[in-house]
Amino acid sequence: MSEVDNKHRSSIPLDHEYKELPMPYVWNMTDVEMVEKSQEFLKLMEKRHTVREYSTRPVPREIIENCVKAAGLAPSGANHQPWHFAVIENPEHKQKIRDAAEEEEKTFYAGRASDEWLNALEPIGTNDSKPHLTIAPWLIVIFAQRTSIDRDGRKFKNYYVNESVGIATGFLITALHTAGLTTLTHTPNPMKFLNDLCGRPATEKPEMILVVGHPNEKATVPAHAKWKKSLDEIMSVF
């Protein structure tokens, strides 16, 4: 077992047996109360916007830790929790990530991306300059674990990895928004440079960089981002 593998062992045991426990908590609300809660949550999420202009205002680490803990409560295939969140505050570390990300982005905008893809990005107003990667107080690099190593050094496969990590990421973004913070999902392509910069093994796949902080006083959002599909377009009832 290498030092790297040893470092990234999971605490999940593979020899556990099925045991039943009483439901830890059961909501006891009327239908009216549940409707009110759903409306409150909808209004909260309507205020969420992706932002690219950030303030240097610090964000306490405890907030980030609480939100990552919330993300870790997401459901996952076989409860393997196939994710890792590399949380970065150090300015030099953020600069290295920005330098590498902008290098990939320059190649992307210079010809790697198809015209169709670039046209789709046009209303969003993105380019190869990513100052938010160093200005925002926190970056969270989200890794997906195709395989893991248990505490006894045995390698095991994870299941429904993309789905599980996607759900956990949704939990994380929602938790950060609920805490009053703004986020940006950034996906430079390719992203393998993040494994080295974050000290993660090659068996893990970096899914995205989540930029976290407060918007600056002049922050804007693209008009295109205000367009959302109607309920009839995103829901079918049978």
The answer to whether residue 5 scores a pLDDT higher than 60 is no
> How would you label 167-201 residue by residue, b for 16+ Cβ within 10 Å and e otherwise?
bbbebbbbbbbeeebbbbebebeebebbbebbebb
Instruction: Give CA–CA dist 118/97, Å, rounded.
Output: 23
Least confident of 16-20, 36-40, 143-147, 163-167: 16-20
Distance CA 211, CA 200 (A): 19
Q: Look at residues 188, 182, 202 and name the one whose alpha carbon lies nearest to residue 49.
A: 182
Nearest to 74 by CA among 161, 199, 200: 161
Res 111: pLDDT: 84
CA–CA separation, 174 vs 235, rounded Å? 21
Q: What is the mean pLDDT of the chain?
A: 92
Give the number of residues written for the chain: 238
pLDDT of 76 above 50: yes
Mean pLDDT confidence for 44-73? 97
Domains of the chain: 56-225 (3.40.109.10)
- In this prediction the pTM is 0.92
Give me the pLDDT at residue 91, please: 97
* Structure tokens, 135: 């200005």
For 177-216, how does the pLDDT look when each residue is reduced to its tens digit (9 = 90+)? 999 999 999 998 889 999 999 999 999 999 999 999 999 9
Q: What are phi and psi of 228, to 5 degrees?
A: -130, 145
Per-residue pLDDT for 40 more than 60? yes
Partners of residue 213 on adjacent β-strands: 182
Which strands, in side-by-side order, build the sheet including 182-186? 83-88, 138-145, 204-213, 182-186
Q: Are 167 and 75 in contact (CB under 8 A)?
A: yes
